[in-house]
Amino acid sequence: MSIRRKSLLTGAGVAVLSLVATMVTTIAPAHAAANCDPYSSYKGIKGKTVTVFTSILEPELTTLKTAWKDFETCTGVKIKIEGSNQFEALLPVRVKGGNAPDIAIIPQPGLLAKMVATKKVIPASAGVIANVNKYWSKSWKDLGTVNGKFYAAPFGSNMKSLVWYSPKQFKKNGYTVPTTWADMTALADKMAGNGQIAFCGGLGSGGATGWPGTDWVEQMVLREYGSKVYADWVSHKVKFSDPKIQAAMAKVAAWMQNPKWVGDVKGIATTTFQDAGKGIPTGKCNMLQQASFYGNILAADGATIAADGDVFAFYLPGTNPAVTVPVVGGGEFMTGFRNAPEVAAVLTYFSSATFATSRVQLDHWVSANSGVPLSAYKDPIDRLSAQYLSNPKSTFAFDASDLMPAAVGAGKEWTEFTAWFGEGKSIADVTKAIDAAWPAS
Amino acid sequence: MAIFFAVLSVIFFLAGKANGKRQKGIASVIFLGPALVLLLAGLVIPGIQTILFSFENADSNKFVGVQNYSWMLHDPDIHRVLINTLLWILVTPLLTTGIGLLLAIFLDRMKRESIPKSLIFMPMAISFVGASIIWKFVYNYSTSGGPQTGLLSAIVKIFGGQPSNWMLSKPLNTFLLMIIFIWVQTGFAMVILSAAIKAVPADIVEASSLDGAYGWRLFRFITFPMVRSTFIVVLATMVVGSLKLFDIVRTMTGGNFGTNVLANEMYAQVFVQFDQGRGSALAVALFICVSPILIYNIRHLRRERTH
C-alpha cells in the first residue's frame, strides 16, 4: 500500500518517520546566477502562469519550488503549486466543477483512469512523449496509458522491492549480499545453520494489520509471472484462487513461513512492522523485506544507514529469469487539463532529466527517469532505488493492494493474510475468502 | 449572541400573547421545539438515513434490497463477529457488575474504605485505548526467543505453565480482552452499588439481624432486594457498553485472530473499506441488539416510579 494511505491508517509509526524525513530535509544552497542553457528550447511562454495541484505537502513543496526556480527565471513562466491532503477527493470535484488545475500530479493510476474518463485530460504532448520514450521503461509508460492513449508521464516514485540488512553484521559473519533468489535462500540456510534467524517479519499495523503480507505476495506474483498476469490479478481477471496466485503464495509461504528461516511463524502476525526490523542492527534477525521508507524507522532508533553502516538494503532478487528486474513500488503521474503551450512546456520540463536531476540533488526524492545520473542522488537508499526503478529493462508494477477495491485491498486481503500467518489458515481457504469479498460490479 | 436573544425575545413575546385554549399547546411547542429539532437532527434523521443506507450499495447510490443483510448472515467472518459480541454481552456485564457488588459489600464495613475504593476506581479514569496499551505489556510475548517480559507469561511460568503468544490463542484471547474491560469498569460498578448499599436504612438491617439474619441471609433477603434496581441499571449500562465495545479490540488485535466484534467490523466497513451499505447494516444490527435492553431499562424505571 502507498505510504500516503498507510500514514492515515497506522498513525504513530509512520508519523514519526515523516517527521524524521522532515528533519533530514536540508536547505539547498543559494543558487548562483542561473545557467539558462538547458532551457533554451522553451520559448514564447514568458509571463504566463501554470497552476499545479498535488497531494505533495510542505516542506516538499518548497524543495520542488527550489528545483524549478532556474526554469522559471530563464523562461519567464510562473508555476503556482498547491498541495492538499484531500487531493484525491478534491481533484474530481474541481474537474467536474470546471475548475480543474492546469496540471495535476496524481498519486495512483486508478484516479488517472477516472480523470481520463471525464474527457478533460489533454493527451501528452510530443515533447512529453519523446521524454518518456527516452527516459522511462515501457512498464512506466503503460501505467500512464489509458485505453491505448498515453496521457501522463511519471513524476516521483518509490520502491518496495528492497531487503533491509546490516552490513556490519554481514561483514562480521562473512555473509555476502545475494543477487539471485537462489543465493538468498542459500544465505538463509547458512544463517539457519549458524543458529541465526534469517528473515524478520511483522504484519502488525493497528487497524491496517496485514498490509506487509500483501507486499510480499505482490513481490512474488510479479517475480513469477510478470506484468500481464499482475495486471490481470489487479483487475480480478486472474482470481486469488487461480493456481498461479496460489503457487506464488506457496512460494511466499516457503520463504516467510519457513520456521527454519523466520523462527516463530505465528509471531509474525503479532509483531508490528515497525518492531520487525529492530533486531537487524544487532543480528537478532538478519533480513527484512520492506519498502524504501523503512530506513526512516531504523534511523529513528539511531542506526546509521549506509553501505557500510548499521543497516542498508539490497534489491530483492527476481525468481524467474523471464521477468527482468521486477520492481514493485509507487509513483505519481502528471496530467494536463489545459491545452496551452505553456502547460505543455511545463509538462515537458517536468518529464525531462534536467528537472529530475535538479530535484534529486536537493534532498530525499527518487525518479525513475534514466537520464538522472545516479551520482546526483544525495541519499544512498534513493540511489539504490533509482538504480532499479530507472533500469530500462525493469518490470515495474504498482502496489496491487492500492489498486484493488478497498473491500479487498484494504479489507479482506489484510485480515486473511493475517489469518494465514497467525492462525495457519490454508492458502486455499484464504484465497477463497478474498475472492468472495471482491465486490460485484 | 445578540441575534440569539432577539429571536428568543420574539418567541417569548409571541408565547406571552397566546392565550385561551391554545395557550398550553403553543407553550409546549415553544419549550419542546429546540429539543425536538436537536433530537431530529442528531438522532432521528441520521438513524433513518442509516437504515436507508443499509439497503443500498457501498456508495449509497443504488438500492440493493436485503443484500447487505444476507451478506451479514452468510459470511463466516461475520458469524464469528456476532458470536464474539454475544460472548461480550453475556460475560463482561455479569462479571463486572458481580465483582463490583462483591467489592462493594466487602469494603462496606472496612476501616478507611475510601483507600481501596479509590484504587479500584482509578482505572476508570483511563481510556480504553490507554488501558489496552497497558495490558499489551501484560500480555506481551517475545517472538525472537528473548526473555519473556509479559506479566501473564511470568505468572503462568510460576505455576509451571508454558508462556504462549496470548493474542493468538483462540478463544482465550477474547476473554483476555474482556479482562481489560472488567478492570476498567469494575470500579464504576462498585461505587454505584456501594452508594446503594449505604442507602439501605440502618433500622431495617438492625431489625433483620434481631430476627437472626446474618451474612448470606442478610444479603439474600435484605441487602440485595434493596439494591436490585441499582444492580439492574449498572448491568444494563455494562451490556450497552460491551455491545458498543470497539477501542479494546481495535488497539489489541485490530479485530484479527478471531477477536472481532460488531462495532469494530462496522468501523472497518465504513471507514477503511468504504462500504457504507454493509457498515450501516451492521449498525442497524447493533441498534436492534441494544433496543430490548433499553426498553427493559425504561420500563423498569417507570415501574420504580409508580411504586
Q: Is B251 on the interface with A (CB under 8 A)?
A: yes
Residue A279 has its nearest CB partner, among B144, B256, B273, at B144
Residue B145 has its nearest CB partner, among A204, A263, A270, at A263
Q: From A5, which residue of chain B is nearest by alpha-carbon distance?
A: B272
The amino acid occupying position A123 is P
Residue A207 has its nearest CB partner, among B168, B250, B257, at B250
A184-206 pLDDT tens trace: 999 999 999 999 999 999 998 88
Considering only CB atoms, which chain B residues are within 8 Å of A406? 272-275
Residue A207 has its nearest CB partner, among B170, B254, B275, at B254
Interface contact A208-B258, CB threshold 8 A = no
Is the pLDDT reported for residue A5 higher than 70? Answer: no
Considering only CB atoms, which chain B residues are within 8 Å of A417? none
pLDDT for the residue B145: 63
Contact between B278 and B68 under an 8 Å Cβ cutoff? The reply is yes
Q: Is A266 on the interface with B (CB under 8 A)?
A: yes
- Determine the average pLDDT of the residues in A32-41: 75
Q: Tell me which of 3.40.190.10, 3.30.70.2860, 3.20.20.10, 3.40.1480.10 is the CATH number of domain A162-326+400-437.
A: 3.40.190.10
Contact between B81 and B261 under an 8 Å Cβ cutoff? The reply is yes
Residue A266 has its nearest CB partner, among B165, B273, B274, at B165
Q: Which residues, 6 or more positions from B174, have their beta carbon under 8 angstroms from its beta carbon?
A: B84, B87, B88, B258, B259
Q: Is B167 on the interface with A (CB under 8 A)?
A: yes
Which one, of A355, A373, A376, lies nearest residue A131 by Cα? A355
Interface contact A406-B258, CB threshold 8 A = no
Considering only CB atoms, which chain A residues are within 8 Å of B257? 269, 418-419, 422-423
Domain covering A33-159+331-382, topology: D-Maltodextrin-Binding Protein; domain 2 (3.40.190)
Kindly give the pairing relationship between strand A145-146 and strand A285-289.
unpaired
Domain locations along chain A: 33-159+331-382, 162-326+400-437
Domain locations along chain B: 2-53, 67-306
Residue A407 has its nearest CB partner, among B141, B145, B275, at B275
Q: Which of A155-169, B61-75, B207-221 has the lowest mean pLDDT?
A: B207-221
Highest mean pLDDT among A399-408, B60-69, B172-181: B172-181
Q: From A195, which residue of chain B is nearest by alpha-carbon distance?
A: B145
The full 3-state SS of chain A, as one line of letters, equals CCHHHHHHHHCHHHHHHHHHHHHHCCCCCCCCCCCCHHHCCCCCCCCCEEEEEECCCCCHHHHHHHHCHHHHHHHCCEEEEEECCCHHHHHHHHHHCCCCCCEEEECCHHHHHHHHHCCCCECCCHHHHHHHHHHCCHHHHHHCEECCEECCEEEEEEECCEEEECHHHHHHHCCCCCCCHHHHHHHHHHHHHCCCEEECCCCECHHHCCHHHHHHHHHHHHHHHHHHHHHHHHCCCCCCCCHHHHHHHHHHHHHHCCHHHHCCCCHHHHCEHHHHHHHCCCCCEEEEECCCCHHHHHHHCCCCECCCCCEEEEECCCCCCCCCCEEEEEEEEEEECCCCHHHHHHHHHHCCHHHHHHHHCCCCCCCCCCCCCHHHCCCHHHHHHHHHHCCCCCEEEECHHHHCCHHHHHHHHHHHHHHHHHCCCCHHHHHHHHHHHCCCC
CATH for B67-306 is 1.10.3720.10
pLDDT for the residue A26: 42
Interface contact B256-A285, CB threshold 8 A = no
Kindly give the pairing relationship between strand A49-54 and strand A285-289.
unpaired
Residues 258-297 in B contacting A (C-alpha not used; CB under 8 Å): 258, 268-269, 272-275
pTM given for the model: 0.81
Considering only CB atoms, which chain B residues are within 8 Å of A268? 143
Interface contact B144-A210, CB threshold 8 A = no
Mean pLDDT for all residues in chain B: 87
Q: Is B254 on the interface with A (CB under 8 A)?
A: yes
A209-231 pLDDT tens trace: 999 999 999 999 999 999 999 99
ipTM: 0.78
Q: Do domains A33-159+331-382 and A162-326+400-437 have the same CATH topology?
A: yes
Q: Is A96 on the interface with B (CB under 8 A)?
A: no
pLDDT for the residue A197: 93
B18-51 pLDDT tens trace: 666 667 777 777 788 888 899 999 899 999 999 9
Burial class (CB within 10 angstroms; exposed 0-12, middle 13-18, buried 19+) of B89? buried
B252-278 pLDDT tens trace: 998 889 899 999 999 888 888 888 899
Q: Is A263 on the interface with B (CB under 8 A)?
A: yes
Interface contact B257-A9, CB threshold 8 A = no
Is the pLDDT reported for residue A44 higher than 50? Answer: yes
